[in-house]
Amino acid sequence: MLPEPEPDNLPKDPVTPVPLPAPHKVTMLSAGGLAALLAALAMLGPFSVDAYLPAFPAIQDSLHATSIEVQQTLTAYMLAFAVMSLWHGALSDAFGRRNVILVGLVVFAVGTLGCASAHSVHYLWIFRIMQGISAGAGVVVGRAIIRDLYSDAPAARLLSMVTMIFSIAPAIAPVLGGWVVTLFDWRAIFLGLLVFSLGLWWVCWQHLPETVPKEQRQPFNPRFLAKSYWDIFSSVQFQMKSGVTAFNFGGMFLFISGAPVLLPVHLHLGPSDFAWLFVPAVGGIFLGALAANRLAGKMHFSRQIAIGYTFMLAAVAFSVSYHGFFPPALPWTVLPMFFYNFGSSVINPSATLLALDLFPHIRGTAASCQSFLTTLMGAIVAGIVAPALTHSVLAMALGQAAFALASLACWMVSRHYRRRNGLA
């Protein structure tokens, strides 16, 4: 049983956002408009990952590549995303949030055009890496922007609102990708991404505010950065609270990255049937984020997190039990994903804010480190764990259960360490 919540986890009074100067005069957005824009930026990641999953066989045939070589285009993207996630926040602390996002969108557009025109799988690897190093700017810097403008319960509400809007992408991306590769060609998927990224750049240029004025920016030099990264990564509290979200993501991404095997091989579905997995998975994310939005400010963070773990553990227990006795079948194989992701989405906004609040003076760098750990987990899952477990749905269910238990262990260690050391 999880320990009782503690008084200092109570939500505090909101911080009223103050418009800050930007190098280009922007039209200020409402909280809902800002959430929609940040969610659209975050969508670049799942669109880049999920939209082309149904096209794997077509890419393999078109580029005369092996299935492993095509799978490694996903690993290359995830590794690049993870490594560059370490820098997006530090760059935004030094040069401004808005500037980093605008430059990131330009780099992403160039990489996406390269993917659409690649004539070999090796060129596709290179341009996927370019996509990976730029796609994370919106996710990382977006979290810092939210925390720059809002505090505690209002920040949790806005973060969960971003998650709700963002969750549309993983639901529609593989479905759209399946339709596009059936009606046109796999390259059309990347051309669509190119149009989306260019449209985002224009909207950000017109409406994205700068939330870190020049006088508050941190120096971008090796000594300061080394000290910042050391302070963050040597923090047990940060590691444990970030581990909560990273392991939650790993459990979800195991089934997402394993979808090209799970759906056609184990469930005998076609490229246009990816909705069977992604709709319940994303439905859980959306409704869990909605629940987190409604719960913010009404209960302690620790109690909200306990509710989330209840759903997650029940989901993995059912999945392991079912696949231990029965063959994979719809809807029982995909239904646990709804409840797993529901619980994860209830947990993640609170865990994210608790981690960022440990380093308020370098919040962008802390957001980078947190995103790095989560994305590195995704790269490990896509490159090692999923290929090792997709031979059996039971093995995948056991893997997801291991991720859920590891996440719970991180949360419990964090609480124990806090009580022992009197830290927040």
Look up residue 195 and give its two tokens.
């149009």
Please, are residues 299 and 9 in contact by the beta-carbon 8 Å criterion? no
For residues 80 and 130, give the distance between their C-alpha atoms in angstroms, rounded to a whole number.
8
pLDDT recorded at residue 207: 80
CA distances to 147, 174, 282, 339, 399 from 276, in Å: 35, 10, 11, 15, 20
For residues 283 and 160, give the distance between their C-alpha atoms in angstroms, rounded to a whole number.
14
* Measured torsion, CA atoms of residues 388, 391, 395, 399, in degrees rounded to the nearest 10: 40
Helical H runs in 118-273? Answer: 121-149, 152-166, 168-183, 187-207, 222-233, 236-257, 259-261
Residues near 361 by beta carbon (within 8 Å), at least 6 away in sequence: 218
Give the model confidence (pLDDT) of 62-115 as tens digits. Answer: 888 887 888 788 888 878 887 887 787 778 877 888 888 899 899 999 999 999
For residues 327 and 330, give the distance between their C-alpha atoms in angstroms, rounded to a whole number.
10
Domains of the chain (ranges plus CATH)? 30-417 (1.20.1250.20)
Give the model confidence (pLDDT) of 101-114 as tens digits. Answer: 899 899 999 999 99
Q: Which amino acid is at 205?
A: W
Give the model confidence (pLDDT) of 309-351 as tens digits. Answer: 999 999 999 999 999 999 988 889 889 999 999 999 899 888 8
CA 91 to chain centre: 20
Please, are residues 80 and 126 in contact by the beta-carbon 8 Å criterion? no
